[in-house]
Amino acid sequence: MKMKNKTTIRRWRSAMTISLLLCAAMLFALAGCSLARADAGAGQHGDRLVGVFITTEYIDLFDFDGYINDNTGRLSGGEIEIDFESQEHQGRLYATLVPNTMTSDSGEAIYTEEYVFEGIAGFPFFTATIHATDEQGSYTTSIFDEAVSHRNTHFSHGDDDSSTVLKGTIYVIPAADMLLYFFNPVYQSADGSVYLTTGQGFFMSGNYGEGGTMSYTMDETNTVTASGGSRTDSISIEVSISVVLAPESIAVLQMDKDSNLITRMEYSPEALPKEMALAPGTEFLIVETRKRDMEGAISTSRDIYSYGIETMETFYAREDGICIETGTSITWPQ
C-alpha cells in the first residue's frame, strides 16, 4: 500500500494595502517562549489534516534540546544555525476528548463528545471523527468557536474519494496595536487522537478602516493505493479576517408597504432578542447599526430585510476585539 500526501498552504490574499509579514519562529523563541516535548512530524503515518486552531499567541512546540543533541556535529565556535522548519523536531499538542451536552430545538438534551485543547486560548475550527463505543456508533463532529462566523461546512463522501470544505470568517475591530494571528494545523491519527502543530503566524497593523478582508487557505490531498485500487481524500480550509467597526447600538424599523414607519425599537448590540414577532402590516425591515471609528466619528450602516426572510443577522463586539454574529428569528404577520 502506498500513500501520497500533498499539503499546500496559500498565504494571505489581501483586498486592501496591508503589509503582511511571516513571523519567524526564531523571534518568538528569543522572546522567551517555553519549549515542549517533540514527537514525530505532523501529517505522517496516515494522519490527516482536519482543520486549524487559531491563536493570538505563538505555540512553541519545537524540541530545542533534541535538535541540539542531534546536531552537535554542526557546532562551530559555540554557535549553531537552527532550522525551525525541521519536522523531525516539531512537537504535537494533543486534545482531550470531553463530554458535551447540547439542547435540541425541542428542549431535549443531546449528549456528545468533542476534542478540546485544554489550557490553550484560541478559536477551534476543525472536524473530527468520534470512534464507536458500546453505546453508540462513530460519527463526525464539527468543533467551532463562536469567534468564527458565517461558517460553511461541506462534506462529500464517495466510494473512491471524499472531500471536506471548511470556510469561516473572523470579524475584528480596528485596534491601535498590532493584530497577530497564528493558524495551527490540526490533525487526526488513525487511532482517533487529535493534535495540533505549530502554525504560521502573520501580523498586521491594527489601524485600518472597515471593509478590508484577508484570507488564509490550507489544502491537503491524501491518496492511498492498494491492490484493489486507490482512494483520494482531500480537505480545503479557508478562514477570512474581515474588519468591521464596533456596533454601539442597533435600531430595528418596521415599515409598511408604502414605506411608512410602523415602529422603531433600539437595542444594545449584545441584547437583541432571539425571536421577534413583527407588527401587523409590516412588509420589510430596516436595520440601522450605529458605529464609531478609532477617531470617534459616528457612522450608520443600514440593511433591508424583505418580507419572508426568517433570520436577522447582527453583531456585537467582545472585549478581545472580536465581533460575534448573532441571529434573531423573525415572525412576519400573516
Q: Are strands 298-306 and 139-144 parallel, antiparallel or unpaired?
A: unpaired
Question: Quick one: average pLDDT of 260-281?
Answer: 96
CB-CB contact of 274 with 203 (8 Å)? no
pLDDT at position 290 over 90: yes
Q: What is the pTM of this model?
A: 0.76
Q: Compute the distance between CA of residue 297 and CA of residue 270 in angstroms, rounded to an integer.
A: 21
Cβ-proximal residues to 281 (8 Å cutoff; 6+ apart), any chain: 256, 257, 262, 333
**Average pLDDT of the residues of the chain:** 79
> Residue 18 has what pLDDT?
32
114 pLDDT tier (thresholds 50, 70, 90): confident
CB-CB contact of 198 with 25 (8 Å)? yes
> Residue 284 has what pLDDT?
98
Q: How crowded is the C-beta side of 304, counted as CA atoms within 13 Å?
A: 7
Q: Compute the distance between CA of residue 118 and CA of residue 53 in angstroms, rounded to an integer.
A: 12
Task: Write the pLDDT tens digit of every residue in 116-135.
Answer: 999 899 999 999 988 877 77
Neighbours of 258 (CB within 10 A): 7
CA neighbor of 60 nearest in space, from 86, 41, 38 = 38
| Grid cell in block for residue 291 | 458605529
SS3 at position 73: helix
Instruction: State the virtual CA torsion across 185, 191, 193, 196 in degrees, nearest 10.
Output: -20
Task: Write the pLDDT tens digit of every residue in 250-264.
Answer: 999 999 999 999 999
